Chains A and B, each alone.
Chain A
Amino acid sequence: MEWIQQLINGISLGSIYALIALGYTMVYGIIKLINFAHGEVFMIGAFVGFYAIAGWGLGFFPALILAMAVCAVFGVLIERIAYRRLRNASRIAALITAIGLSLLIQYVVIYVRGAQPEAYPDALSNKTFDIFGVQISSQSILILSVSIVLMILLQFIVHRTKIGKAMRAVSHDMDAARLMGINVNTTISATFAIGSALAGAAGVFFGVYYTKIEPLMGIIPGLKAFVAAVLGGIGIIPGAMVGGLVLGVVETIVSALGYSLWRDAAAFIILILILLFRPSGIFGKNAREKV
């Protein structure tokens, strides 16, 4: 029974990673940029949700939508200000800019509101179901369902809509897409808007589920989501989902075996192993269309 409980624990942890990894992998899929500031957009989303619920008394769902909207605008701004000029620069320049941006956002937030943590209000009722001695909380079921729904929605947007078609075209060949009359800037802005809105949603769910939010909260989940995205095959949307869940379960198993202090190490050992032996990830096919 203890092991089933641990599996449930792992899936709830993994669905948080999956939620963050979806936005990560989407941005990478379109413009081949590892957006390290994604973890900070996640943090901003958590704080917007917090101030909306605790400060203005909004309910959970209005706060969630507000956080997603603010993050979408924020993501577009990040792309417009920091990444657009570097679109034709070397990839390492864009990567370093992303890391710099991530630090900048963290410390601006600390400067503005201080480094002290904040406790998320109870905006979403939480029930614990007891099934044959295994406890499952309604919040973790909700988070898992939200990640699955968002994954399906993303797949739909990318493969069945006009903007999705434009995204795939831009991802394939930016110049050819432009020649075909696709507005590349708008398409990339849309990609950032959607990816950042997902990060914002993940931030609010994280806040409700784990209660504590603080300006540096994006670092570790951001890195773990990156591992999850690589594990599933970076750029592949269902891969992010599966990668997140696998990572969550592996971490939980490591803790359950009594090596809790090795938990974070396990995540990064997975990253190294994947990069060494299967760089395209679980779902990756060699250098095919990646969206």
Chain B
Amino acid sequence: MFRKKITSVLMASALVAGVLAGCGGEKAGTEGSKDSGGGGDTIKIGANLELSGAVASYGQGIAEGIDLAVEEINNSGGVDGKKIEIIKVDNKSDAAEATNAAIKLTNQDKVTAIIGAATSGNSVAQAQIANDNKTILLSPSGTSPNVTVGTNGKVNEFVFRTSFIDPFQGTVAANFAAGDLNIKNAAIYADNASDYAKGLAASFKETFEAAGGKIVSEESYVAKDTDFRSILTRIKSANPEFIFIPGYYEEVGLIIKQAREMGITVPFMGADGWDSPILVDLAGAEALNNTFLTNHYSAQDPDETIQKFVTSFSKKYSGKSPDAFNALGYDSVYFLVDAMKRAGDTSDATKIKDALAETKDLSLVTGVVTVDEFHNPIKSATVLEHKDGKQVFKSKVNP
């Protein structure tokens, strides 16, 4: 769901050299740095997050999740008797600032690991720094494949993520359509202007055809289009039983509204790009009935781990129901701590990253995690259904 900012990333990398000089002048964090390397009585973990700027709600959500997890761990005695200390830096939703923040955290605060950033672009901006300084970088919600795999196709040794990757949602949607809904003929209507949508469409097609289904119509639109009626007429005449629309809510809302007006009653499905309250405003609650989306997690999931998390989260944050970002932030801390425990070391990043790469069947709030060779977690995704304008938990689909 997070658009890549390749240009900003390139610029950021070019800026790194200049920034290194400027960084020394910055005021040291009040958290202090008693001794380097995290070998003291606390484990220092950096949080490089979007606490202000365009996607501040993502970063703030992750920060809340992190705080809850750290509080729980520290109250139950910490890791190996050491307490976790989180050093938060605001990257202002900007790739260059994210790079600056990563340099500050690695060189000045000497953290063992950095949790961040919320978007793929801001995570990619720090990957090189994390690798060079042998510091773990764990992106809670960067879903683009190139967060953990560099442009040269090599895996970034020290970079991991807590979320699944974009194309995986296409796989989940295909399994859900072929399995739960028992669909044989599907259509794909994808946003041609985004890699996110194209990746999802490709993986949906592959999985759906492998499951014996047939793609009867494949169409595309371009972001910012407003009139979809002529393509929908084409799709309608191909008679699909199901339409997959990977894309963002701005266009998806209009597509569903226009499709329902034209008498297309079949189920629609999409991914986390649909997850916005504006979708309901655009499409209308009634048109959204019989539509599904995949997401990282649902607070309504009856799963015991999730309900425990929901209860303690709403206790800490005065009744607030945790969203996917809260859950991913929370999980990121437990994911790291689990690796530290298995590595038997809380400060040696090389040992911890080996342990992270070997993670198997770790039960977290957003699913049971096994890390694959590309440092991507293999985990379940949640399918939600729209009912009268509300997202309702439908089922959990395993990879």
Contacts and interface: CB of A to CB of B under 8 A. Distances in A.
Interface of A: 2, 5-6, 9-10, 12-13, 116-117, 119, 122, 126, 128, 130, 135, 137, 210-212, 217, 220, 251-252, 255-256, 258, 260-261, 264
B220 A135 contact: no
B227 A210 contact: yes
Given A119-B281, A135-B261, A135-B262, A211 B222 contact: no
Contacts of A116: 278
B302 interface: no
Contacts of A264: 222
A180 to B, nearest CB: 46
Q: Among the interface residues B227, B237, B254, B262, which one has the most CB atoms of the partner chain A within 10 A? A: B227
B152 interface: no
A135 B263 contact: yes
A252 B192 CA distance: 18
Contacts of B227: 9, 13, 210
Nearest to B262: A135
Chain B interface size, under 10 / 10 to 19 / 20 to 34 / 35 or more? 20 to 34
18 contacts: A2-B233, A9-B230, A12-B229, A117-B250, A117-B278, A119-B253, A122-B284, A137-B261, A211-B257, A212-B250, A212-B253, A217-B226, A220-B224, A252-B229, A256-B230, A260-B220, A260-B230, A264-B222
B300 to A, nearest CB: 25
* Across the A-B interface, the 10 shortest Cβ-Cβ residue pairs: A119-B281, A255-B230, A9-B229, A252-B230, A210-B226, A119-B282, A2-B237, A9-B230, A5-B233, A256-B230
Interface of B: 192, 219-222, 224, 226-227, 229-231, 233-234, 237, 250, 253-254, 257, 261-263, 278, 281-282, 284
A252 B262 CA distance: 15
A12 B234 CA distance: 17
B219 A260 contact: yes
Contacts of A5: 233
A126 B262 CA distance: 12
| Most chain A CB atoms below 10 A, which of B226, B234, B262, B282 | B226
B230 A211 contact: no
B187 to A, nearest CB: 13
Contacts of B224: 220
A212 B254 contact: yes
A260 B231 contact: yes
B141 to A, nearest CB: 20
Contacts of B229: 9, 12-13, 252
A220 B227 CA distance: 12
A59 B233 CA distance: 32
Contacts of B231: 255, 260
B237 A119 contact: no
Contacts of A122: 284
Contacts of A12: 229
A252 B263 CA distance: 19
B103 to A, nearest CB: 31
A83 B231 CA distance: 41
A252 B231 CA distance: 8
A211 B279 CA distance: 11
B247 to A, nearest CB: 13
B261 A211 contact: no
A211 B253 contact: yes
Nearest to A214: B250
B282 A6 contact: no
Given A212-B253, A212-B282, A10 B226 contact: no
Contacts of A252: 229-230
B254 A261 contact: no
Contact of A212 (B226, B230, B234): B226
A122 B220 CA distance: 28
A2 B217 CA distance: 15
A9 B192 contact: no
A93 B262 CA distance: 46
Nearest to A5: B233
Given A2-B234, A210-B226, 14 more contacts: A2-B233, A2-B237, A5-B233, A117-B250, A122-B284, A135-B262, A212-B253, A212-B282, A251-B230, A255-B231, A258-B234, A260-B219, A260-B220, A260-B230
Given A9-B233, A255-B230, A260-B231, A211 B220 contact: no
